[in-house]
């Protein structure tokens, strides 16, 4: 009904009918091959679920997604792919971006072409400061880490250590944890930064053991990295030593839970989406997922980031009418609120980042299957890292 009305307004504004219907292209840059292919796959699944529910048209226009594979963090290649999408494919939007450096790299291109870029995952606070045409439907490390660090302090932990991948989101996670935990009276006894490509975590486990910390806060990109780190934590006897393990929910994302197994049973993480989130919106999201793909086991934060990201693109199109000024399109979603499968969300008009509930969740086995059970909720959390120290 609302969509039909907007469509009618759009058609009238152009003074045209179906004959002028256009195809609006959205270029999606993400890993579709290699160890991080789950990002691309779940982006694609989230997009498909959205289009299955809401259709492939906005007004008279058809929305088409064009996918480009970028298997790992590679800003030069991201820029080249964005250039190709803008010049050859004539896309009206860019979207996707698993890794922070790949999102950062396209800022000058989206400004030059005056098109919006919707970030489905990359989670370093500074991204949206690089261009007024960035809008983010995912999360930031600051947003997830502040409630978690307060929780760790409340548990009575006095000494903690951080272990993060040495790039944007890891450095943000470390800063957020340290600032919040120390303000709450705790001490961060050491900060470990691990190369993004690390696969052997045993030396870091030794450093954690030797530090005297009672708890570790860790961030690594979801996938083989988090799997290897969690396994190393279990295999190197840190749990037996009584060291508690915390982090944002990238570590326990649903597609990885079967492989992680008991290594993460009982682990508390903070995050914006759990497959086990109890709401009507999540139930119908998962039902559609299952209908399209035979199972909803892959439904994870990146599927929801893409699903909500497409909602932003559709809203920009409906409100501004087809291929338009990128800045105007972004303006049209500032302050937009809706019910996501993750819970209620709003696009913060200043940061263009998504405000949302952050949940504390514990990994439990329910009916034989591991899940992230939500235990506590912190509504309407902003990006605490936006323009920090600027
Ligand atoms: C990022 O590069 O911003 C990033 C990558 C993987 C994650 C989270 C953030 O799981």
171 Cβ below 6 A of ligand 1: no
248 Cβ below 6 A of ligand 1: no
CB-neighbour burial class of residue 337 (10 A; exposed 0-12, middle 13-18, buried 19+): exposed
220 Cβ below 6 A of ligand 1: no
* CATH assignment, 2-139+279-352: 3.40.50.2300
For a ligand 1 pocket test, name from 29, 36, 99, 302 the mutation site with the most ligand atoms within 8 angstroms of its C-beta: 99
236 Cβ below 6 A of ligand 1: no
Which atom of ligand 1 is found nearest the CA of 250? Answer: 10
Intervals of CATH 3.40.50.2300 along the chain: 2-139+279-352, 141-271+358-381
- Total Cβ atoms within 10 A of residue 358: 25
222 Cβ below 6 A of ligand 1: yes
Cα 7 to ligand 1 centre (Å)? 36
123 Cβ below 6 A of ligand 1: yes
Which atom of ligand 1 is found nearest the CA of 36? Answer: 6
For a ligand 1 pocket test, name from 39, 100, 168 the mutation site with the most ligand atoms within 8 angstroms of its C-beta: 100
What pTM value is reported for the model? Answer: 0.95
Which atom of ligand 1 is found nearest the CA of 301? Answer: 10
45 Cβ below 6 A of ligand 1: no
Cα 166 to ligand 1 centre (Å)? 12
Identify the CATH homologous superfamily for domain 141-271+358-381.
Response regulator (3.40.50.2300)
User: Could you list the pLDDT tens digit for every one of the 390 residues in the chain?
Assistant: 344 444 443 333 443 444 478 999 999 999 999 999 999 999 999 999 999 999 999 999 999 999 999 999 999 999 999 999 999 999 999 999 999 999 999 999 999 999 999 999 999 999 999 999 999 999 999 999 999 999 999 999 999 999 999 999 999 999 999 999 999 999 999 999 999 999 899 999 999 999 999 999 999 999 999 999 999 999 999 999 999 999 999 999 999 999 999 899 999 999 999 999 999 999 999 999 999 999 999 999 999 999 999 999 999 999 998 667 999 999 999 999 999 999 999 999 999 999 999 999 999 999 999 999 999 999 999 999 999 965
């Amino acid at each position: 009904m609302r969509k039909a009305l907007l469509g009618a307004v759009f058609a009238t504004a152009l003074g045209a009918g179906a004959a002028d219907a256009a195809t609006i292209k959205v270029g999606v840059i993400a890993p579709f091959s290699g160890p991080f292919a789950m990002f691309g796959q779940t982006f694609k699944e989230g997009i498909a679920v959205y289009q299955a529910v809401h259709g492939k048209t906005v007004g008279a226009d058809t929305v088409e997604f064009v996918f480009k594979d970028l298997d790992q963090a590679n800003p030069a290649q991201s820029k080249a792919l964005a250039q190709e999408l803008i010049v050859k494919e004539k896309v009206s939007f860019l979207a996707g971006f698993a890794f922070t450096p790949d999102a950062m790299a396209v800022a000058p291109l989206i400004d030059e072409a005056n098109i919006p870029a919707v970030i489905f995952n990359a989670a370093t606070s500074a991204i949206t400061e690089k261009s007024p045409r960035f809008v983010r439907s995912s999360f930031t490390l600051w947003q997830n880490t502040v409630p978690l660090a307060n929780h760790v302090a409340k548990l009575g932990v006095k000494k903690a250590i951080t272990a993060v991948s040495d790039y944007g989101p890891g450095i943000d996670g470390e800063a957020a944890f340290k600032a919040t935990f120390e303000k709450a009276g705790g001490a961060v006894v050491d900060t470990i930064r691990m190369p993004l490509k690390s696969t052997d975590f045993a030396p870091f486990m030794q450093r954690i053991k030797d530090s005297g910390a009672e708890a570790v806060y860790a961030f690594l990109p979801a996938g083989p990295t988090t799997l290897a780190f969690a396994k190393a934590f279990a295999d190197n006897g840190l749990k037996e030593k009584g060291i508690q393990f915390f982090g944002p929910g990238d570590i326990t994302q649903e597609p990885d839970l079967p492989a992680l197994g008991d290594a993460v049973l009982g682990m508390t993480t903070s995050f914006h989406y759990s497959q086990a989130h109890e709401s009507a919106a999540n139930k119908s999201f998962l039902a559609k997922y299952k209908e399209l793909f035979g199972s909803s086991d892959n439904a994870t934060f990146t599927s929801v980031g893409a699903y909500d990201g497409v909602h932003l693109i559709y809203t920009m199109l409906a409100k501004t009418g087809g291929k338009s000024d990128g800045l105007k399109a972004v303006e049209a979603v500032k302050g937009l609120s809706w019910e996501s499968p993750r819970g209620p969300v709003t696009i913060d008009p200043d940061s263009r980042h998504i405000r949302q509930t952050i949940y504390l969740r514990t990994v439990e086995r329910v009916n034989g299957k591991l899940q992230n059970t939500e235990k506590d909720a912190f509504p309407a959390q902003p990006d605490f890292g936006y323009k920090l120290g600027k």
